[in-house]
Amino acid sequence: MQKITLASASPRRKELLILAGFSPEVVPSSVEEKITGADPSKAAEGLSRIKCLDVAEKKKSAAGRSVVLGSDTIVVLDDRILGKPKDRENACRMLRRLQGRKHQVITGVTIALVEDGSIRETDTFSSRTDVWVASMSEEEIRAYVETGDPLDKAGAYGIQGPFARFVEKIEGDYYTVVGLPVAAVYRHLKRFL
């Protein structure tokens, strides 16, 4: 398995990298996630970049060569970015807005090559998927929020968990919604390994 450094504590991203044949070393970024700008793709890419470069800076002192991957996922509804919910009520509000509608999920990815004490090269890109959520009753929304599942996820849901029963369809890459567009990551990583 190819070794890479994952600049994220997300167990989902780690699992996806293993699925793709990589052996990730997890070194979570310590930077504060702050969305800047109105363009959703640029926002996701920017967040992935600051996470990746934060960890790449730490890797500069290590001997040899390292490949660092940072990623961030955002949810967009009516051109507004929905981040992670602040609390359960905020999660309920987000889900009320998403239910019965289509929205977009964008995952930004940055890969950095660290070699001989410097960051030699970076590559940043994003992947977008449309998601349709079924109509949900207030009871269904509250029951889902009470599971705790949505509290650490952009848009207040995770497609791979109990929320799956409310996803009517997607158009695009499923793994983008989970948090890492595996095929695109593999294509981009090949030139760094």
Domains of the chain are: 2-192 (3.90.950.10)
Checking if the pLDDT of 79 tops 70, the result is yes
The residue with greater pLDDT, 52 or 65, is 52
pLDDT at 1: 58
Q: What angle do CA 115, 118, 121 make, to 5 degrees?
A: 75
The residue with greater pLDDT, 3 or 89, is 89
105-142 residue pLDDT tens = 999 999 999 998 899 999 999 999 999 999 999 999 99
> Does 87 qualify as catalytic in the annotation?
no
Residue 82, amino acid: L
Q: Which residues pair with 6 in a beta bridge?
A: 26, 69
140-166 residue pLDDT tens = 999 999 999 999 999 999 999 999 999
Work out the percent of the chain whose per-residue pLDDT is above 90: 84
Strand spans (E) along 88-163: 102-115, 118-133
Checking if the pLDDT of 169 tops 70, the result is yes
Mean pLDDT of the chain: 93
pLDDT at 132: 98
End-to-end CA gap in the chain = 11
Q: How many CA atoms lie within 13 A of 167 on its CB side?
A: 20
What is the spatial distance between Cα 97 and Cα 78, in angstroms, rounded to a whole number?
Answer: 10
pLDDT at 117: 86
Q: Match 């269904």 to its residue by tokens.
A: 140
Checking if the pLDDT of 21 tops 80, the result is yes
Number of neighbouring beta carbons within 10 Å of residue 25: 14
Checking if the pLDDT of 101 tops 90, the result is yes
The single-letter DSSP state of residue 161 is T
Q: Give the active site residue among 54, 72, 130, 152.
A: 72
